[in-house]
Chains A and B, each alone.
Chain A
Amino acid sequence: MTDISIHGPLKPADITPEKSDDKQASESSFGSVLKDAISDINKLQNDADKSIAKVQLEDAGSIHEAMVALEKAGISFQVMMQVRNKILDAYQEVMRMQV
């Protein structure tokens, strides 16, 4: 057992959390982040609506711009749905907990 030896005193693992991250987390709550994300998605949906109206009603703007706006809105909506699914899963997991 001579090949396994400890040199110097053992130090505890450094578990002090970084101050800056901690502060940032307390400033923006999860709820407000979600709210911001949803309002961003709403804005993208509105942009898509506007660009479609531009193409269909005013006969201005281009098809590809409308399609790009639509895809942006669609993908951000899908992202939001995934986040919602995860939250619901977590909630149901908690509700199923045995007391």
Chain B
Amino acid sequence: MEFFTTFKICGSGLSVQRAKMDVVTSNLANVNTTSTPEGGPYKRKIIAFTPEPLKKGFDKALEGAVQAVKIQGITEDERDGRRVHDPAHPDADKDGYVVFPNVNAMVEMTEMITAGRAYEACATAFDAAKNMAVTALGIGK
């Protein structure tokens, strides 16, 4: 059924936005993590999305034009973290400086709101598509 195409696209959108929320919360949770198993402070993670073509169950006219979304990959922000003078800190270097993660809590909060709003938008689109299907079922009643 063609309504399921809309549902599929909405579902993929919801999935990626939720994944983005995971990445953002990971960044926020590690905002003060100064040591990692790989050494050095935690590095901010960035999630990127890419369109995904839908294979089957498609209107010929829409084929290739309408695409779902998937996660392209999660990369690390390679910028330097902020240096804080704190000689008592266990991760302080010989000059007494500690390198904190390159995570900016304010940036992460805006990213979080973006993900939340996009998630809401996908859910609203889903509801709209469902209402269309229900309207179609009411034809002729």
Partner of B126, one of A68, A76, A79, A82: A68
Across the interface, do B137 and A79 meet the contact criterion of CB distance under 8 Å?
A: yes
**Alpha-carbon distance A75/B75, docked complex (angstroms):** 39
Give the distance to chain B from A63, nearest Cβ to Cβ, in Å.
Answer: 9
Q: Are A64 and B18 in contact (CB under 8 A)?
A: yes
A76: which of B1, B18, B123 is its contact (CB, 8 Å)? B1
- Given A62-B15, A62-B18, A65-B15, are A72 and B7 neighbors across the interface (CB < 8 Å)? yes
CB distance from B110 to the nearest CB of A (A): 23
Q: Evaluate contact between A64 and B14: CB separation under 8 angstroms.
A: yes
| Residues of B in contact with A, size category | 10 to 19
Residues of A within 8 A of B15 (CB): 62, 64-65
Q: Which residue of B lies closest to A79 (CB)?
A: B137
A71-B7, A72-B4, A75-B3 as given contacts; A64 in contact with B123, CB under 8 Å: yes
Does A42 have its Cβ within 8 Å of any Cβ on chain B?
no
Q: Does A78 contact B (CB under 8 A)?
A: yes
Chain A: which residue is nearest B17 at the CB level?
Answer: A64
